[in-house]
Amino acid sequence: MTTSPPVPPVGEMSSDDEVREEKELDLSSNDVVTKYKAAAEILNNALKLVVSECKPKAKIVDLCEKGDTFIREQTGNVYKNAKRKIERGIAFPTCVSVNNTVCHFSPLATDEAVLEENDMVKIDMGCHIDGFIAVVAHTHVITNGPVTGRAADVLAAANTAAEVAMRLVRPGKKNKDVTEAIQKVAAAYDCKIVEGVLSHQLKQFVIDGNKVVLSVSNADTKVDDAEFEENEVYAIDIVTSTGEGKPKLLDEKQTTIYKRAVDKNYHLKMKASRFIFSEISQKFPIMPFTARALEEKRARLGLVECMNHELLQPYPVLHEKPGDLVAHIKFTVLLMPNGSDKVTSHPLQELQPTKSIEDNAEIKAWLALGTKSKKKGGGKKKKGKKGDAAEPMEEATNGATSQE
């Protein structure tokens, strides 16, 4: 989840873009589609594993490590015999953020935080193959029965907003259409869309592309108007809250996820800082990483100087107020010529929200939109798609099933 305005127009690999190729690799290449889908399949399985381990007294750091280890191992088993070396692995470290914690909680090994009964657990993770990135976030409540009350409302709000966004992120539509729609969905469940969250276009080795969808438009956060185009890929990021939707940074020491700012240079003074920055440059030149993956004693010292001189971009741990509940759903969607292909997701638990969208004609109309494009020859949209997604809350997994 990205929680600050994008820095225009420097992407992770922007300085190398012209050098690499005139034409960026996109979904018009079958090889690119295959790599996105391979990364997505590994990620869906990693998410399934972490969800299965979400039990009372499970240590959060252990869950994060299990997710990261699974992604590392599984990506290590693909494209082993390729003619050229293909980079692959974690695109975003596994985060497990609970209840009113909004995002980016991926603690150090010494952290003792555990899950408890009825916790609302948000799992966020990313995987890439050859720089083609799949990301996902899912919310799971630790309960044996259906999810009820406000927990069900906030999760239903996130899921319905994700379903609406899925239908509006399509060629010819504009980013502001999505921003307006998801806020209306959240309001229908008496919830708020969390401010500062950005849904980014994904490109090869770029996890935060310059085309973005804003979660909430206000005076503080502005993004350029943009139109979605065929063969683009997006990470659609929906975060809902029963509170105000204005998260705060409470403790900078909780930040453990960083990304190297490739456009910044500075000659570090401390030996520990130089050691850590060298380790980061070798192991994590482009993708976000967790401080857990660094040599821990030197990391504590070295990261401070790196941060002071803006060599690293932090992903802060943000919080709503105690007692607020926050749900997070993120998926990767490929805007294929034949329609939108959601490649990352996980089935939801059964929800019994206190609010209903049955009488909301506007939301029902959005949900009734198909996700497949009309054929070039003037063929009709496939029937059946409408009904499939028109009422995503009727069953636990409607509109949120894992991809085959």
Q: What is the pLDDT of residue 138?
A: 98
Segment 169-226, tens digit of pLDDT? 999 999 999 999 999 999 999 999 999 999 999 999 999 999 999 999 877 778 899 9
- Rounded to 5 degrees, φ, ψ at 32 are -65, -45
What's the whole-model pTM score?
A: 0.88
Q: What is the pLDDT of residue 375?
A: 52
Q: Is the Cβ–Cβ distance between 186 and 240 less than 8 Å?
A: yes
Question: Token digits for 155?
Answer: 């999760």
Task: Output the CA angle 394-396-401, nearest 5 degrees.
Answer: 110
pLDDT higher than threshold 70 for residue 1 = no
- Domains assigned to the chain: 30-251+318-366 (3.90.230.10), 256-315 (1.10.10.10)
Question: 25 or 158: which carries more pLDDT confidence?
Answer: 158
Question: 296 or 257: which carries more pLDDT confidence?
Answer: 257
Segment 33-61, tens digit of pLDDT? 999 999 999 999 999 999 999 999 999 99
Which whole-number Å values give the CA distances from 226 to 163, 169, 363, in the listed order? 20, 11, 23
Segment 328-354, tens digit of pLDDT? 999 999 999 999 999 999 999 999 999
Indicate the length of the chain as a whole number. Answer: 404
Q: What mean pLDDT do residues 104-126 have?
A: 97
Q: What is the pLDDT of residue 298?
A: 82
Q: What is the pLDDT of residue 217?
A: 83
Q: What is the pLDDT of residue 391?
A: 36
Segment 366-386, tens digit of pLDDT? 999 988 876 544 444 344 433
Residue 404 binned pLDDT confidence (cut-offs 50, 70, 90): very low
Q: Which residues contact 148 (CB under 8 A, 6 or more apart)?
A: 352
Instruction: For the chain, give the longest Cα–Cα distance.
Output: 66
- Rounded to 5 degrees, φ, ψ at 16 are -95, -5
Q: What is the pLDDT of residue 3?
A: 54
Q: What mean pLDDT do residues 298-315 have?
A: 92
Q: What is the pLDDT of residue 121?
A: 98
Residue 395 binned pLDDT confidence (cut-offs 50, 70, 90): very low
Q: What is the CA radius of gyration of the chain?
A: 20
Question: Token digits for 242?
Answer: 């029963």
